[in-house]
Structure 1
Amino acid sequence: MVPGPRDRFLPRTRRHRGVNHTMAGTPATAQRRPPLAQPTGQEPPRIQDLLQSPKTVQRFQQLVPRHLNPERMLRVMAQAVYKTPKLAECEPMTLLGSMMACASFGLEPNTPLGHAYLIPFEKRRMQAGQWVTERVDVNLIIGYRGFIDLARRSGNLVSIHADVVYGAYGDMPADEFSFEYGSNMHLRHVPIGDNQGRPPIWAYAHASLKDGQAFEALPYARVLRIRDNSQGFQAALAAKQEAERNPNKSGWKMRSFESSPWVAHEHEMAAKTMIRRLSKALPMSIEFANAVQLDAMSDTGGVNYASFSDGVDMRVADVSTAAIDHQPEEPMEPLNGEREEVPVETGHDPETGEVREPARKEPAPAAKASRKQAPPPADDDELFSAT
């Protein structure tokens, strides 16, 4: 059996029921690789060292879509660790794998672009009546703008838009909002005034296609239930609770809560949730299809990120040939908070097609063949001008 796109992110020994098999089709117990032992007296490699490994650079060159620059992507990954030091406490190969997954979609994490977020969270267990940190894991969350960018890579979309509808508060009236499914299907939203203080009541996503339209709307209470079940939000709540118990020692945890996507960017995350739900009715590029599946699995912590970093030796011996500057670059211009309907350029990537059947046997992003890298664009910001 050839694994589908969803199987790409599952632990290797749990992909199919019955006998556990590896990708080669032989019993997992016969081909399971032993863990790489660290030489005596040598510390485990840091993620900063792994990002400078020639093998990592080569892997990024294979993964990153042609319209992006692998060297810039590596610098962005290094900056993510620089700006969020807690990421450095994650298991290196798992963190590197999450970075490679992000790179395979062509999304930049932890930047003002809001394409994706690498979120560290503590796995804790009860010991002697106290909660202790067992390890620090990482979760990759794809943002609203990231899904918009991925949706643009399909050739059948004319435009796509997602938003939140706000109700009345005090003297402020509610937004005008109506929709209908069936033979007279339509969706109409007229925002009224400032959203400050007004409660969200609906969320929706709408796409105009070359041969029609598609949309989905949900009461906002259901959106919040989806949020509450996500691993990223649960980790943020745990950080807040820990900070409230130890206000003098856990200031960074409160900052972590306040900067988490569902807290700092709730409007955009609600819109992203609706685009993800609408995706089943949209023509999708390979990257979009895999990103939707990975993001859904990330909500429950079911992603084996370490599988992306297979082939990168943890025993980094030579990093001199691929030095990366870890100093922060100039901050990118913050994007306007207003969101307009996003036109879609056709023929964005001639290699990407539509995924109409979930069982289609397309190669996973991490298995792309090596290719000659195109020269970097004159202006990186032009790549994201429509997000």
Structure 2
Amino acid sequence: MADLKDRVKQATGDQEPPLEGPQPHDVALRDDKLAWLQGHKAYFTDALPRHVDQAHFTAVALSVMPNLKNCTNASIMRSFLACARFGLEPDGRQSAIVPYKDVATFQPMYEGYIELMYRHPRVDSVHFGWIREKDQWDYTPTEPSPRDFFHKPRVDLSEEERGPVILAWAFAWIEGRRSQVIILNRQQATQIRDKYSKAYAKAEREGKRDSTWHTEFDAMWAKSCVRRLVKVVPTSTELSELISADDDADEAGSAPAVIRGTVISRDDQGDSEQQPSAARWPETAQPRSGGEDGGETP
């Protein structure tokens, strides 16, 4: 019978995730966590919606366990149950499991919000993007939809040549009609951060500057834009509960880490400020604007 290490490789379809340090006790701790998850996976896979593949979800969960080696088993289980409840993979794109001291915390990402919007039978599609300084764009609210908004990226230029990000935008198509366009600039994102983020305020008071708003401003900026879109699309109980879970994560405080994927917060509520470690932005989401951290809460 294959040992645990081989089973993990088979489940993830790749090499076993690298450890944070070569110490033998770290290896033992990691393997213990993986064994624990294997023994308890039925608890969260049974909660998955039918459209989510259990084997794939378990493989993703196994791949993030090394980052949670110092977290309590109870908090890890609660976080995975939250992922399963919403049918979101803990891959750092749809959602993330963020270690905050010894507590694992569920945090939805912008793709998770979009995923839940798509599940509403009236929503045809959801779109998000960044406008850079040299892009062609126009927004005239008094024009009828969809002529009120236009964005054409400069595909003949590199991202650096297109200039820094100046706006985030999002909209949805609902039963063949386009929703209101949500447009958020950097100053608006900063105002949302200052007004609603408890994690940011806590980090400022403690002089740590380690909240997501400090370390990944652009991620929070994007997340805020998409969360604001929630107000103008058909809502569901599931989507409302996801917003509440996101706000609860912000209550937990802040944790230094790196986000993989754009994080979404809420325009008129608190946003979640924790990030999974050893992760990276997806190419389609990363603005790489070089500006200060950003995000917002609808």
Smaller-chain TM-score range? 0.5 to 0.7
Distance between the aligned counterparts of 1:213 and 1:184, measured in 2? 7
Report the CA distance shift for 1:119/1:235 in structure 2 as closer, same or farther (over 3 A).
farther
Distance between the aligned counterparts of 1:80 and 1:194, measured in 2? 33
**Are the equivalent residues in 2 in contact too, given 1:160–1:206 (CA < 8 A)?**
yes
Post-superposition offset of 1:286: 4.4
Q: 1:199 aligns with which of 148, 164, 167?
A: 164
Distance between the aligned counterparts of 1:140 and 1:262, measured in 2? 20
Residues 1:177 and 2:138 aligned together: yes
Distance between the aligned counterparts of 1:237 and 1:138, measured in 2? 22
Post-superposition offset of 1:106: 1.8
In structure 2, what is the equivalent of residue 51 of structure 1?
37
Post-superposition offset of 1:64: 0.6
Post-superposition offset of 1:194: 3.5
The unaligned stretches of length 5 or more in structure 1 are 1-45, 123-135, 168-172, 243-256, 303-333, 340-387
Report the CA distance shift for 1:241/1:263 in structure 2 as closer, same or farther (over 3 A).
closer
Q: Secondary structure at the match of 1:176?
A: strand
Give CA deviations for 1:266-319 in whole Å, capped at 9, x if unaligned: 6555333212111122123544332233123322339xxxxxxxxxxxxxxxxx
Q: Secondary structure at the match of 1:196?
A: helix
Give CA deviations for 1:204-247 in whole Å, capped at 9, x if unaligned: 21111116322222222222444566577789999x969xxxxx
Residue identity matched to 2:284:
G
The percent identity for this pair of structures is 24
Residue identity matched to 1:78:
L
Q: Secondary structure at the match of 1:155?
A: coil
Structure with more of its chain in helix, by fraction:
2
Q: Secondary structure at the match of 1:89?
A: coil
Give CA deviations for 1:82-141 in whole Å, capped at 9, x if unaligned: 2x2xx2212221121011101222222235xx222222223xxxxxxxxxxxxx333322
Report the CA distance shift for 1:199/1:102 in structure 2 as closer, same or farther (over 3 A).
same
In structure 1, what is the equivalent of residue 88 of structure 2?
107
The unaligned stretches of length 5 or more in structure 2 are 1-31, 254-280, 287-298
**Are the equivalent residues in 2 in contact too, given 1:95–1:138 (CA < 8 A)?**
yes
Distance between the aligned counterparts of 1:231 and 1:47, measured in 2? 31
Residues 1:337 and 2:272 aligned together: no
Q: Secondary structure at the match of 1:295?
A: helix
**Are the equivalent residues in 2 in contact too, given 1:154–1:285 (CA < 8 A)?**
yes
Post-superposition offset of 1:156: 0.9
Q: 2:44 aligns with which of 45, 54, 60?
A: 60
Distance between the aligned counterparts of 1:69 and 1:178, measured in 2? 41
Distance between the aligned counterparts of 1:336 and 1:300, measured in 2? 29
The number of aligned residues is 222
In structure 2, what is the equivalent of residue 69 of structure 1?
53
Give CA deviations for 1:330-367 in whole Å, capped at 9, x if unaligned: xxxx965379xxxxxxxxxxxxxxxxxxxxxxxxxxxx
Matches within 5 A, 1:1-387: 47-53=33-39, 56-82=40-66, 84=67, 87-110=68-91, 114-122=93-101, 136-167=102-133, 173=134, 175-180=136-141, 186-192=148-154, 193-196=157-160, 198-210=163-175, 212-214=177-179, 215-227=181-193, 230=197, 263=215, 267=218, 269-301=220-252, 337=284
Report the CA distance shift for 1:233/1:51 in structure 2 as closer, same or farther (over 3 A).
farther
Distance between the aligned counterparts of 1:110 and 1:236, measured in 2? 26
State the 4+ residue runs in structure 1 displaced beyond 6 angstroms.
182-185, 231-238
TM-score by length of 2: 0.60
Distance between the aligned counterparts of 1:159 and 1:72, measured in 2? 24
User: Which one scores higher on RCO, CA 8 angstroms, separation ≥ 6?
Assistant: 1
Root-mean-square deviation over aligned CA pairs: 3.8
Structure of greater Rg: 1
TM-score by length of 1: 0.48
Residue identity matched to 1:297:
D
**Are the equivalent residues in 1 in contact too, given 2:125–2:173 (CA < 8 A)?**
yes
